[in-house]
Amino acid sequence: MSTLTHSFADSKTMLRRNLLHAKRYPAMTFGLIIMPILLLLLFNYVFGGALGGSTGEKYINYLTPGMMLMIPAYMVAGVAVSISSDMTKGIVNRFRTMHIAQSAMLTGEVLGAWIQGMLGVTAMTLVAVLVGFRPDANALEWLAAFGLIGLVIFALTWLGVAFGLIAQSPESASNLPTPIIFLPFLGSGLVPTDTMSAGVKQFAEYQPFTPITETLRGLLMGTEIGNNGVLALVWCLAIAIVGYVWSNSLFRKKVK
């Protein structure tokens, strides 16, 4: 068996382990998916009347693309806690005694989180449609939108792996991703950046979630995308590369 084939088989085994954990202990996954959906309902029904006037359209149509990115942001915390738990409970030491690819545990975690994240975004989309979300995207635009979301989940998950590896405990791992969780709120997800004060507006326009949100909104609602599409892809690739290199470097040091 080649090294590549062996690594693929090990990653598949670790993916199955991750999915079994999610099935047996669903509280964390359930919370990470349900909380963004509850926030969607909260902002639409409680704050929608006040915020909707700044968007120039039905608020749920403006809100949903931004809130769909809350699930990738929340998944970072779940991945960080899961990785930190494995590192502190000694399961990695058991894996070291086996003939297993070192990167398989991380890859399995990322793939498992990706599957859960995509299912969560699908659930949020269905809830949004039930409460009035009416996108005008065709099949190709839907495919592109979910492709972009998948890339965001993949990139942020690798960042979550790195957070889990540097954390001293699962408790601290749950706190490290807090800035990531708040970024969707500090972009164009809830209101247009033009309505923000000068300092906040400048930050919102140059942080990664704003071009990603605007690209997603353009694909689903037909608004102007401009250069946001390129910026969104660049941000996703940059975050994925940094997260992947950082997490693998940390993991190699810990398993020496």
Residue 252 is predicted with a pLDDT of 80
> Can you give the residue ranges of every domain in the chain?
3-254
Residue with tokens 């940059």: 238
Residues 153 and 118: beta-carbon distance below 8 Å = yes
Classify residue 89 by burial, with Cβ atoms within 10 Å: 0-12, 13-18, 19+: exposed
Q: Is 56 left (phi over 0), alpha (psi -120 to 50) or beta?
A: left
Look up residue 63 and give its two tokens: 């809100």
Q: How far apart are CA 90 and CA 119, in angstroms?
A: 30
pLDDT of residue 100: 61
d(C-alpha 192, C-alpha 82), whole Å: 35
Residue 109 pLDDT = 83
Q: What is d(CA 128, CA 118) in angstroms, rounded to the nearest whole number?
A: 15
> Length of the chain, please?
256
C-alpha angle 236/238/244, rounded to 5°?
100
The residue written with tokens 């693998």 in the block is 248
Q: What sign for the dihedral angle of Cα 119, 146, 184, 106?
A: positive
Written as one string, the DSSP assignment of 180-217 is HHHGGGGTTSSS-GGGS-HHHHHHHHHSTHHHHHHHHH
Element (H, E) at 50: helix 48-51
* Chain centre to alpha carbon of residue 252: 24
Helices (H) and strands (E) in the chain, counts: 13, 0
Residues of the chain with pLDDT under 70: 1-29, 56, 90-103, 255-256
